[in-house]
Amino acid sequence: MTEEQALLSPEVVVQDLKENGVTHVVWLPDSETNFLYELMEKEPKLDLVPVGREGNAFSTAAGLSVGGAKPVILIQNTGMMESGDSLRGWALKLNIPVVIMIGYRGWTRHGKTPDTAAVYIEPFLNAFGIKYYLVENNDDAERISWAFEEAEKTQRPVAVLFGDEFHGFNR
Amino acid sequence: MRTEDMLKILHQYREDAIIIPGRGGNHWIKMSKMPERDLALSAIAMGGRASFALGLAMARPDEKIILLDSEGDVLMGLGTLATIADKAPKNLYHFILDNECYATTGGQPVPNAKKIRYDLIAQGAGYPSSHAFEKLADFESNIEAIMSEPGPVLVSVKVVPEIVNKPIQNRKPWQSRSNEQVVADFQKAVGPRVA
């Protein structure tokens, strides 16, 4: 893979959010997502909702969804694991079709990583029965729309793991 | 004050507001005349009720949202107060029914139960308006004015604990409908969201 191919541009992510009718981005900043933040902030169709703890993103998204809005959750894998009971009680228990966009901190293509945030995130999602798609670069971006379709079809949360957050989002 | 008495007074000022009953829900569902507008959810995760209410308030800015919260819930999701103040939904009325304890686990005190001031915490978080009441008469004489304020408003009221000390499998839930039914009834009642 060339360096060019390794990029996942934040513009592509924002475009996917718009195309999928997202109204609110409930989020807590990821390690390297400031460019994405700046783009989202300029986008009038997206209302940014900052939370102080990732678990609260799930209850906020549940309220938005029950009220008829279309939220997305944007957090890091560390925060996903922090959110276990909220995922259970608010998103799964209430059948909330929300896409969870997760920065895959510590991800490597060869699978060997010293970062336990990467070691545990996929087993964590599997434990809750959350389907997930890995997005590494712009060529994978259609998987974001797959996740939205899957969430609607199953009326369950579906995750997108951003495996390249440390390149494209950081520019 | 007794929870039931406080809720009877609040009920007079409901109009057609959407209610999210947490603490006191067992009393509320008996007096509510609009169950389809009561989001009486069961077995959700503690600590998230205020952020759920915030989400609903943002999705439905044309509806008045009344949250019946508990102090244990608020303490578990304290950062939500900052998010509520940040988004500042004018339609959100946040009531904390403070019984100073974890009533459904036998009545153990919450941290610093006697001294903590939720109205001051809300004020510090940036709520434009917050109130605290210990006596029912004071609550009654102020509630009409409070409900005509723009939100977000926080109202902390001291209530007598109603302690449950049975094993969880031996308790009868106060909710009479499944979560699926509650949400379906609600969405039918409020209709589609207008963006």
Mean pLDDT by 10 residues, chain A (171 residues): 63 93 94 77 94 98 98 96 98 98 90 92 98 92 96 98 63 43
Q: Which domain holds residue A166?
A: 1-12+24-70+83-106+123-171
| Contact present, B79 and B27 (Cβ < 8 Å) | no
Residue B99 lies in a domain: yes
Host H or E run for residue B133: strand B129-133
Question: How far is B53 from chain A, CA to nearest CA, in Å?
Answer: 6
The answer to whether the CB atoms of B48 and A89 lie below 8 A apart is yes
Residue A95: its chain B contacts at CB < 8 A? 180
Residue A76 lies in a domain: no
Residue B184 lies in a domain: yes
For position B143, what pLDDT does the model report? 98
Rounded (to 5) percent helix, strand, coil in chain B: 45, 15, 40
Residue A38 lies in a domain: yes
DSSP annotation of B38: B
The answer to whether the CB atoms of B82 and A66 lie below 8 A apart is no
Residue B45: its chain A contacts at CB < 8 A? 55, 58-59, 85-86, 88-90, 93
The answer to whether the CB atoms of A86 and B48 lie below 8 A apart is yes
What is the total count of domains within chain B? 1
| Contact present, A118 and A77 (Cβ < 8 Å) | yes
Q: Which domain holds residue B32?
A: 3-190
The answer to whether the CB atoms of A69 and B193 lie below 8 A apart is yes
pLDDT in tens, B139-189: 999 999 999 999 999 999 999 999 988 888 888 888 999 999 999 999 999
- What are the residues of chain A with a beta carbon less than 8 Å away from any beta carbon of chain B? 23-24, 26, 47, 49-53, 55-69, 71, 85-86, 88-90, 93-95
The answer to whether the CB atoms of A55 and B193 lie below 8 A apart is no
For position A7, what pLDDT does the model report? 79
Residue A116 lies in a domain: no
The answer to whether the CB atoms of B87 and A51 lie below 8 A apart is no
Residue B57: its chain A contacts at CB < 8 A? 63
Residue B121 lies in a domain: yes
Mean pLDDT of chain B: 96
Identify the CATH number of the domain in which residue B108 sits: 3.40.50.970
The answer to whether the CB atoms of A67 and B59 lie below 8 A apart is yes
Of A23, A51, A62, the CB nearest to B83: A51
Host H or E run for residue A159: strand A158-162
Q: pTM for the complete prediction? A: 0.95
Residue B167 lies in a domain: yes
What is the total count of domains within chain A? 1
CA distance B39 to B183: 7
Q: Which residues contact A129 (CB under 8 A, 6 or more apart)?
A: none
Residue A53: its chain B contacts at CB < 8 A? 77, 79
For position A171, what pLDDT does the model report? 43
Radius of gyration of chain A (CA): 15
pLDDT in tens, A124-140: 999 999 999 999 888 99
The answer to whether the CB atoms of A51 and B44 lie below 8 A apart is no
CA atoms within 13 A on the CB side of B132: 12
Question: How far is B148 from chain A, CA to nearest CA, in Å?
Answer: 23
Residue B46 lies in a domain: yes
Question: How far is B69 from chain A, CA to nearest CA, in Å?
Answer: 14
Residue B77: its chain A contacts at CB < 8 A? 53, 55-56, 59
The answer to whether the CB atoms of B183 and A61 lie below 8 A apart is no
Residue B29 lies in a domain: yes
For position A22, what pLDDT does the model report? 98
CA distance B159 to B177: 26
| Contact present, B38 and B29 (Cβ < 8 Å) | yes
The count of CB pairs under 8 A between chains A and B is: 122
Give how far Cα A161 sits from Cα of A38, A135, A154, A171, Å: 21, 6, 19, 19
Residue A78 lies in a domain: no
Residue B195 lies in a domain: no
Question: Per residue of chain B (195 residues), what is the pLDDT tens digit?
Answer: 999 999 999 999 999 999 999 999 999 999 999 999 999 999 899 999 999 999 999 999 999 999 999 999 999 999 999 999 999 999 999 999 999 999 988 899 999 999 999 999 999 999 999 999 999 999 999 999 999 999 999 999 999 999 988 888 888 888 999 999 999 999 999 999 987
CA neighbor of B176 nearest in space, from B167, B185, B165: B185
Residue A168 lies in a domain: yes
The backbone torsions φ and ψ at residue B157, rounded to the nearest 5 degrees and listed phi first, read -125, 135
The answer to whether the CB atoms of B51 and A71 lie below 8 A apart is no
Identify the CATH number of the domain in which residue A156 sits: 3.40.50.970
For position A168, what pLDDT does the model report? 47
The answer to whether the CB atoms of B193 and A56 lie below 8 A apart is no
Residue A115 lies in a domain: no
Q: DSSP for A71-136?
A: EEEEEEHHHHHHTHHHIIIIIITTT---EEEEE-TT--TTS--S-HHHHHHHHHHHHTT--EEEE-
Residue the block writes with tokens 């895959």:
A104
